[in-house]
A and B are shown apart, each in its own frame.
Chain A
Amino acid sequence: MSDVIRLDVMKTYKLFVGGKFPRSESGRVYEVSDSKGQWLANAPLGTRKDTRDAVLAARAAVKGWAGTTAYNRGQVLYRVAEMLQGRREQFAAEVAAAEGLGAKKAAALVDQAIDRWVWYAGWTDKVAQIAGAANPVAGPYFNLSLPEPTGVVGIVAPQTGYGHSFLGLVSVIAPAIATGNTVVVAAAADAPLPALSLGEVLATSDVPGGVVNIISGRTADLAPTLASHQDVNALDLTGAIAAEGPGAAAVLEAAAADTLKRVLRPAVDPSAQDWTSAPGTDRLLSFLETKTVWHPMGQ
Chain B
Amino acid sequence: MSTVAANAPGAAGGGLSDVAASEASLRRFLHGLPGVDAVGLEARAASLGTRSIKTTAKAFAIDLAISMIDLTTLEGADTVGKVRALCAKGKHPDPSDPSAPRVAAICVYPDMVATAKEALAGTGIQVASVATAFPAGRAALPVKLADTADAVAAGADEIDMVIDRGAFLSGRYLDVFNEITAVKQACVRPDGSSAHLKVIFETGELQTYDNVRRASWLAMLAGADFIKTSTGKVTVNATPPVTLLMLEAVRDFKAATGVQVGVKPAGGIKTTKDAMKYLVMVNETLGDDWLTPHWFRFGASSLLNDLLMQRQKLSTGRYSGPDYVTVD
Binding site for B on A (CB under 8 A): 52, 55, 59, 225, 228-232, 255, 258
Q: A228-B318, A231-B322, A255-B318 are in contact. List 16 more A-B contacts (CB 8 A).
A: A59-B321, A59-B322, A225-B319, A228-B317, A228-B319, A229-B318, A229-B319, A230-B318, A230-B319, A230-B321, A230-B324, A231-B319, A231-B320, A231-B321, A231-B323, A232-B321
Q: Report the minimal beta-carbon distance from A72 to chain B, rounded to whole angstroms.
A: 26
Q: Report the minimal beta-carbon distance from A51 to chain B, rounded to whole angstroms.
A: 8
Sorted from nearest, which 8 A-B pairs have the closest CB atoms? A231-B321, A228-B318, A230-B321, A229-B319, A230-B320, A52-B319, A230-B324, A230-B319
Q: Report the minimal beta-carbon distance from B210 to chain A, rounded to whole angstroms.
A: 36
Query: In the complex the two chains form, is B322's CB within 8 Å of A55's CB?
Result: no
Closest to B319 in A: A229
Closest to B324 in A: A230
Closest to A229 in B: B319
Please measure, in the bound complex, the distance between the C-alpha atom of A232 and the C-alpha atom of B323, giving whole angstroms: 11
Q: Report the minimal beta-carbon distance from B60 to chain A, rounded to whole angstroms.
A: 20
Please measure, in the bound complex, the distance between the C-alpha atom of A52 and the C-alpha atom of B272, giving whole angstroms: 14
Residues in B neighbouring A229, C-beta threshold 8 A = 318-319, 321
User: Majority SS of interface residues in chain A?
Assistant: helix
Please measure, in the bound complex, the distance between the C-alpha atom of A230 and the C-alpha atom of B320, giving whole angstroms: 5
A-B contacts, 10 listed (Cβ < 8 Å):
A55-B319, A55-B321, A59-B321, A59-B322, A228-B318, A230-B319, A230-B320, A230-B324, A232-B321, A258-B318
Residues in B neighbouring A55, C-beta threshold 8 A = 319, 321
Interface string of B60-102 (1 = CB under 8 A from A): 0000000000000000000000000000000000000000000
Which of A59, A230, A258 is most buried by chain B, counting CB atoms within 10 A of its CB?
Answer: A230
Residues in B neighbouring A232, C-beta threshold 8 A = 321
Closest to A51 in B: B319
Please measure, in the bound complex, the distance between the C-alpha atom of A229 and the C-alpha atom of B320, giving whole angstroms: 6
Closest to B322 in A: A231
Residues in B neighbouring A255, C-beta threshold 8 A = 318
Residues in A neighbouring B318, C-beta threshold 8 A = 228-230, 255, 258
Q: Report the minimal beta-carbon distance from A289 to chain B, rounded to whole angstroms.
A: 15
Q: Report the minimal beta-carbon distance from B310 to chain A, rounded to whole angstroms.
A: 10
Residues in A neighbouring B324, C-beta threshold 8 A = 230
Q: B residues 308-328 with Cβ under 8 Å of A?
A: 317-324
Q: Report the minimal beta-carbon distance from A182 to chain B, rounded to whole angstroms.
A: 14
Residues in B neighbouring A231, C-beta threshold 8 A = 319-323
Please measure, in the bound complex, the distance between the C-alpha atom of A249 and the C-alpha atom of B323, giving whole angstroms: 25
Q: B residues 285-328 with Cβ under 8 Å of A?
A: 317-324
Residues in A neighbouring B321, C-beta threshold 8 A = 55, 59, 229-232
Residues in A neighbouring B320, C-beta threshold 8 A = 230-231
Please measure, in the bound complex, the distance between the C-alpha atom of A225 and the C-alpha atom of B320, giving whole angstroms: 11
Please measure, in the bound complex, the distance between the C-alpha atom of A52 and the C-alpha atom of B312, giving whole angstroms: 14
Residues in B neighbouring A59, C-beta threshold 8 A = 321-322
Closest to A231 in B: B321
Please measure, in the bound complex, the distance between the C-alpha atom of A59 and the C-alpha atom of B322, giving whole angstroms: 10
Which of B317, B321, B324 is most buried by chain A, counting CB atoms within 10 A of its CB?
Answer: B321
Closest to A152 in B: B321
Residues in A neighbouring B323, C-beta threshold 8 A = 230-231
Closest to A258 in B: B318
Q: B residues 241-299 with Cβ under 8 Å of A?
A: none
Q: Report the minimal beta-carbon distance from A197 to chain B, rounded to whole angstroms.
A: 28
Q: Report the minimal beta-carbon distance from A65 to chain B, rounded to whole angstroms.
A: 17
Please measure, in the bound complex, the distance between the C-alpha atom of A249 and the C-alpha atom of B258, giving whole angstroms: 64
Closest to B312 in A: A230
Residues in A neighbouring B319, C-beta threshold 8 A = 52, 55, 225, 228-231
